[in-house]
Amino acid sequence: MTQVKSVFTTREQTRETDEYFLGSGREIRYFWEEKAWESGQLKVPAKEAVNKIGHGLHDLVPEFESVSYDKRIARICKDIGLIKPLAVQSMYILKSAFFGGEVTPHQDGAFLFTEPQSVVGFWWPLDDCSTMNGCLWAVPGSHKTVPVSRKFRRKDPPGEGTEFLPVEPVKWDLANAVPLEISKGSLVIIHGALVHFSRENVSGKDRHAYSVHVVEGRPGVDYPSDNWLQRPPDFPFRELHI
Ligand code: FE2
């Protein structure tokens, strides 16, 4: 278990922007819950204090690779219009019983930005999901009405960390958000502009999940060099094939 105290949060004011995070696209790295540490000590056992593991599982662990590049996923990608789907990011999300933190409202397109927008998330719950253990919530139709207007990017010059542009947070309308109370083994497909979030796990049941994000890799779709997630030339994003 790594001793790097990098936490994961979508709450922009506190997001760690260290090299541990920025280099995780080509590695398997561990990110702590925000509240995991107190006075230099873990407050709960490490396996409960980890928020997520990422972001290169799909290319580095055979079991995750087989799921992520499954021909059925490739077929879905084609069916929803992706010409050259590239798997760019994977995460094992723990959201442990009584300890897993919230994920604040966001659009995945802000974190995996392409021009034009193309990111799609595939999200598998590995435990049954309820409002008690922190299921996903989503705002129906928001992918059609709320364009991605903000971007999480590496600062210029490189090495200065990350930032949101524009700086001002989006004021989300969550009045119509619905909980996705689904059973383990389901598959949720998340449009890059869908406004979604999850709350703390206040139950005694874990809410583990695995997710992969795919972007369009065809000519004419740009994956900007200031996206937080980058791969070195000798470890490029791979295409899903039917
Ligand atoms: Fe998300």
Per-residue pLDDT of the chain (242 residues; tens, 9 = 90+): 445 566 666 554 344 457 889 999 999 999 999 889 888 899 999 999 999 999 999 999 999 999 999 999 999 999 999 999 999 999 999 999 999 999 999 999 999 999 999 999 999 999 999 999 999 999 999 999 999 999 999 988 777 789 999 999 999 999 999 999 999 999 999 999 999 999 999 999 999 999 999 999 999 999 999 999 999 999 999 999 99
State pTM to two decimals.
Answer: 0.92
Q: Which amino acid is at 217?
A: G
What is the total residue count of the chain?
242
Ligand 1: distance of its center to the CA of 104 in Å? 9
Ordered by where they begin, the domains of the chain are: 19-239 (2.60.120.620)
Ligand 1: distance of its center to the CA of 41 in Å? 29
8 Å CB contact between 25 and 231: yes
Ligand 1: distance of its center to the CA of 107 in Å? 6
Going by their DSSP bridges, the two strands 196-198 and 103-106 should be labelled as antiparallel
Ligand 1: distance of its center to the CA of 118 in Å? 14
Q: Which two tokens stand for residue 156?
A: 């210029």
Ligand 1: distance of its center to the CA of 210 in Å? 12
Ligand 1: distance of its center to the CA of 176 in Å? 18
Ligand 1: distance of its center to the CA of 94 in Å? 14
